[in-house]
Amino acid sequence: MCVEQALWHHTLQSPTDSLQPMTTLFPSDNKNQQHLFLANGNNLGQAQQQTIHFINTTQLIAYQSNTIKDEEIRSASSSDFWVEIEKGIAANRRFCRDLLKELQDTGLMELEDLLSLKLGYPSKVLHILTHMLDGFIGTDSVFYNLVEDSHWLSEALRATIHQNPESYWLVPVWHGPMTRSLLHLD
């Protein structure tokens, strides 16, 4: 059975499942065991396939296992759709605020301080922050918008979803230990 088919049947064993779990930059803060994906499609199956394809092809992160539960997928017509999106975006913003606080604790107070930012931990924190702002998924991402490749939701897409709720879905993906990440500490 191919990897996509395995996830389609609700559980995926990553092709890198023999690798050991990795340490994240903020291991004590990395309690998120779920990513919430905004996908579009004419039906639940298309949205689920879009999510599966992304998980299977991204080079940014990989996990030993991933699980999608059909009963947890929400269409934009469901009553808790917008609440879940806002919770996810709020969690992403909290993480970005935490990164900003970490940078301030290293002495970065003004933009000009970036020119003398120390290599190592401070520059890694900045790198992760820019990835969050730029739309690169990471292990600490809670909400991820597949439609716009973003951790956020534009006003234009928000309006489009309100006009066509039958075409947008929230797909929660529960994941196991991370086996690969673009950003991590060895």
CB of 2 within 8 A of CB of 112? no
- pLDDT tens-digit profile of 64-92? 889 999 999 999 999 999 999 999 999 99
| Token pair of 64 as six digits | 């030993």
Residue 45 vs residues 32, 69, 73, 83, 168: alpha-carbon distances, Å = 25, 12, 10, 22, 11
- pLDDT tens-digit profile of 21-52? 333 344 434 445 899 999 999 999 999 999 99
CB of 148 within 8 A of CB of 40? no
